[in-house]
Amino acid sequence: VRNLNLRQIAKHARVSTATASRAINRIPTVNPYLAKRVWKVIEELGYYPNTQARALVSGHSRTFGLIISELTDPFFAELVQALENVAAHDGYQILLGMSGRDSGQLESGIRRMIERRVDGVAALGFDLSEPVIRVLLSHNVPVALMNRLSPPPGVINIRIDYQNGVRQAVQHLAALRHQSIGFVTGRESLMCTRVQKNAFLDAMTEIGLGTRHDFMISGDQSIESGKGALRQLFSLSYRPTAVVCSNDLTAIGMLVQAHECGISIPHQLSIVGFDDIDLAQFTGPSLTTVKVSRADLATVVFESLVNAGTTPASTEVKEYLLPTNLVLRRSTSLAVSDVR
Amino acid sequence: VRNLNLRQIAKHARVSTATASRAINRIPTVNPYLAKRVWKVIEELGYYPNTQARALVSGHSRTFGLIISELTDPFFAELVQALENVAAHDGYQILLGMSGRDSGQLESGIRRMIERRVDGVAALGFDLSEPVIRVLLSHNVPVALMNRLSPPPGVINIRIDYQNGVRQAVQHLAALRHQSIGFVTGRESLMCTRVQKNAFLDAMTEIGLGTRHDFMISGDQSIESGKGALRQLFSLSYRPTAVVCSNDLTAIGMLVQAHECGISIPHQLSIVGFDDIDLAQFTGPSLTTVKVSRADLATVVFESLVNAGTTPASTEVKEYLLPTNLVLRRSTSLAVSDVR
DNA sequence: CTGTTAGCGCCTTCAG
DNA sequence: CTGAAGGCGCTAACAG
């Protein structure tokens, strides 16, 4: 059927392709009268400029690759949605690439992104290996990471303020007279798990509370692991009266398991989540949690990538720190006494 | 830094660009010895063919646009993940485009997809207007829709078998001796809402059970609306003993509200969901629901779009029907007696 | 201010 | 079976 190109537009508007191009790109030096004529033809004929050709010559695709491990984790789903919004607002597109925990799949995903000449790649909820990062950087593709512990040179590292977030949670519990507090970690292999765990230990030490080894439960940020964590906690002879989770999904799992076992939350156990996903306000009881703004996170990711594309690549690491806020709901309450 | 192109590869391999191109595209007529040489150079130099240039000349971008309203709805998150998987497997990319309920945003999203010359667009969980569809089709972009009631000519319509799915739910409840059964619909403006509702009424008539008008609650597929639906139901003087929901999120909302009001599920009310999202197995009690396979749905969407791109566009509507399966869990039980 | 021209990186006839 | 040449749609010098 029809497949219009610039030349035909130019012909219909009785100008040269150069002028038509300039009109489209709103270059101010073009005669307004001619510009109007060009736009009129574009409207009438329903012309859509070919992004591929544009990208080919300009070198910018206005496209960012997004590597995600689990879209089914609500935190990431909400983050992707937020990112898509800010990107769309500036005419950028998001190219999806799931890693799916399979390294071969990851590699082919990265390859396709480079072949598509993305203007940047963000890897969220997933630790990209250094070799992969180097490949990306060597192709002039800016890379944005989340919570990287020792970021390789040249990347953008966006850190969520776990130190402060976890401290807020711990101090809230301490203010409620909790003395023995547990922590459920994320997947051992992820860097941010270590950061969170240390933040927890620091916060506890800071207020003079020790932590027993068996109060540190290791999970994987899933509902299932939250359920397991609760069972594990209640099989202890000496139990904590409160627990902080590495994310809301874990906390929700604990809530579910408590419900099944007839354990009353928050009376028998106070629970604090992390992230503040939408679901957190709908659980029974609603979840006290540390909020991480997806909108802010998305904005930082987007702007830092756009920025990296316009400024010359450097080997230094750009760090951004994202604040957190405690959201009080109904899954925490005053500690009555130690439970045994 | 480095930005390799075909010519440089050809030069290093001491062949012409044509031969290099043929080698890359695995055209069998090329001398295996030369091909090997080309591939070796590609490996050594780390060459990534430029997809934009390829697309420019071939006319195919190997990219599908995906229009989604709510990525935060787990059903769609799981569907997108599934779709990304099958697409990646065949070297296709997914270009995200949220509609965000704002028609201006939708329009600019569609525009960007056409400009990017996507090979097809899938609109899921969202009714694309006919003018928009016509624009897409007039640009030779195949369009895949979900549960369209009267699909415009030329589109692909993928129907979930609501008729059968809802019937399975109703018959399950009837087998448990439920006589008065309610239904919570989705957003009134969506086509599939009407389809589901009619399927429900048909299924009820089929087994000789009438339906009271006040047992039909209208919702919007959110947790919140599920909570509202339960309150609405329990404010009736004469109540149903069971209810079917248009999706799992609604059912989960009812569960949450029941918990808050001290209503016991399934004893005081049996609840059946729809979709079988991952979360459904973790609720308390776990949710009896009608499963819609995301993997199958994704496969059908993908293959039908690929297919539409290779066969000449026709004005007929391609229909696909996706089966459903009842999954029995713990949110339904025998009706003891009518509750009043 | 406008038009002509030369590529961007690749594929694909068309001759050898 | 291989290579030279033209062109996909667009932008950016460079002349007028």
Strand D bases with any atom < 7 A from protein Cβ:
1-5, 7-13
The torsion angles phi and psi of A234, rounded to 5 degrees, stand at -80, 0
Task: Give the helix, strand, coil percentages of chain B, each rounded to 5.
Answer: 45, 15, 40
User: Is it the case that residue B289 has pLDDT exceeding 90?
Assistant: yes
Q: C1' nearest to CA of B56: which nucleotide?
A: D8
| 8 Å CB contact between B233 and B182 | yes
The stretch B18-29 carries a mean pLDDT of 94
Rounded CA-CA distance B58/A53 in Å is 12
Type and span of the H or E element at B232: helix B223-234
What's this model's pTM, rounded to 2 decimal places?
A: 0.93
Report if CB B6 to strand C is under 7 Å: yes
Q: Which residue among B52, B81, B253 sits closest to A72, beta carbon to beta carbon?
A: B81
Q: What is the pLDDT along chain A (340 residues), one digit of tens a residue?
A: 578 999 999 999 999 999 999 999 999 999 999 999 999 999 999 999 999 999 999 999 999 999 998 899 999 999 999 999 999 999 999 999 987 677 888 999 999 999 999 999 999 988 899 999 999 999 999 999 999 988 999 999 999 999 999 999 999 999 999 999 999 999 998 888 999 999 999 999 999 998 899 999 999 999 999 999 999 999 999 999 999 999 999 999 999 999 889 999 999 999 999 999 999 999 989 999 999 999 999 999 999 999 999 887 788 899 999 999 999 999 999 987 644 4
| 8 Å CB contact between B78 and B71 | no
Q: How many CB atoms lie within 10 A of CB A99?
A: 20
Q: C1' nearest to CA of A56: which nucleotide?
A: C8
Report if CB B15 to strand D is under 7 Å: yes
Cβ A138–B2 below 8 Å, yes or no? yes
Q: How far in angstroms lies nucleotide D11's C1' from the CA of residue A90?
A: 21
Which A-chain residues 118-147 have CB contacts (< 8 A) with chain B? 135, 138-140
Chain B touched by A52 (CB under 8 Å): yes
Residues of A with Cβ-Cβ distance to B223 under 8 angstroms: 279, 282
Cβ A48–B111 below 8 Å, yes or no? yes
Can you tell me which residue has its alpha carbon closest to the C1' of nucleotide D13?
Answer: A18
Cβ A84–B95 below 8 Å, yes or no? no
- What is the per-residue pLDDT for A339? 47
Residues of B with Cβ-Cβ distance to A67 under 8 angstroms: none
Rounded CA-CA distance B340/B335 in Å is 13
Structure confidence at residue B329 as a pLDDT band (50, 70, 90) = very high
| 8 Å CB contact between B334 and B233 | no
Can you tell me which residue has its alpha carbon closest to the C1' of nucleotide D11?
Answer: A57
- Substitution target from A24, A52, A66, A69 for chain B, most B beta carbons within 10 A: A52
**Structure-token match 């510009």, residue found:** A35
The stretch B32-37 carries a mean pLDDT of 93
Sign of the C-alpha dihedral, residues A111, A117, A118, A122?
A: positive
Structure confidence at residue B339 as a pLDDT band (50, 70, 90) = very low
Q: What percent of chain B has pLDDT over 70?
A: 98
Q: How far in angstroms lies nucleotide D9's C1' from the CA of residue A5?
A: 6
Q: How far in angstroms lies nucleotide C7's C1' from the CA of residue A57?
A: 9
Q: At what angle do helices A74-89 and A248-261 cross, to 10 degrees?
A: 150
Q: C1' nearest to CA of A3: which nucleotide?
A: D9
User: Tokens at residue A334, please?
Assistant: 């005053």
